[in-house]
Amino acid sequence: MPNLTKFKKTLFLLILLIIFSFYFFEIDNIFTIQFLKENNALLIKHISENFISSIISFYLIFFIFIFFFLPMTSIMVVFSSYLFGTLPTIFLSLLIVTSGGLSNVFLLKKLTFEKIFKKAERFAKRIKTKIHGNEIQYLILLRFIPMPYIIQNAILVLLNTSRTKFIISTILGVSPYMVIYSLAGFKLKELINLNNEIRMEDVLNYENFLIIGLFILLIFLSIYLKKKIK
């Protein structure tokens, strides 16, 4: 037990150190539109000459960001689409976000804050009772809510969600966002190549987010019909 406690403390300090270093050394400044504009030709040339090693390195960094709870998911998807294309980005981002989410669950369980979890246990049981029979639909709805990925994963840990349901709800729940941000990366590359002035509304088509609203309505409809049939 003392060794386990020491491991938890070391792991917790390591996560804090990584997060602090990320912002203190301004690593986040690399992942900006300005950086892409200034280094566009160099990046494209490097990737065309080293495509496989570039994509492996990029997604390894992407996984590390998720592993250490850094809120970079949407930015990394946009950058990936810009650098590697839309279709590879959708598939690989889904893979990394899902596997990274599972690593979050592992870490959160290792770093269990017993007092918090005990206080939330009764609340979690109440929720599980209410969503029983429609758990997968509600978990997908949770993924649709625009909140930090780590908070979503913490909720799933509290609900003691099975690995299978975690994977299914994550893939189905984040897929629309992967498509939207991948299209944004494609549009960003187009604008940079044309050397146009770039505004956020030119990159992100906010009408696409209506698709997520439609998915939410369909899920609520399926829950309603399921209850009616019963």
pLDDT tens digits for range 177-207 = 898 889 888 888 888 877 666 666 666 666 6
The 10s digit of each residue's pLDDT in 106-165 is 888 777 655 566 666 677 778 877 787 788 888 998 898 888 888 899 888 888 888 999
Q: What are phi and psi of 23, to 5 degrees?
A: -90, -35
Residue 22 to residue 29: CA distance in whole angstroms: 10
pTM of the model: 0.81
213 CB burial (10 A radius; 0-12, 13-18, 19+): exposed
Q: How far apart are CA 102 and CA 104, in angstroms?
A: 5
Whole-Å CA distances, 12 to 61, 157, 222: 20, 17, 41
Task: Count Cβ neighbours within 10 Å for each residue of 64-76 and write b for 16 or more, e otherwise.
Answer: ebbbbbbebbbbb
Residues 6+ apart with CB under 8 A from 59: 80, 92, 96
Asked whether the predicted pLDDT for residue 28 surpasses 80, the reply is no
> Tens digits of per-residue pLDDT, 39-73?
888 988 999 999 999 999 999 999 999 988 888 89
Q: Three-state DSSP class for 107?
A: helix
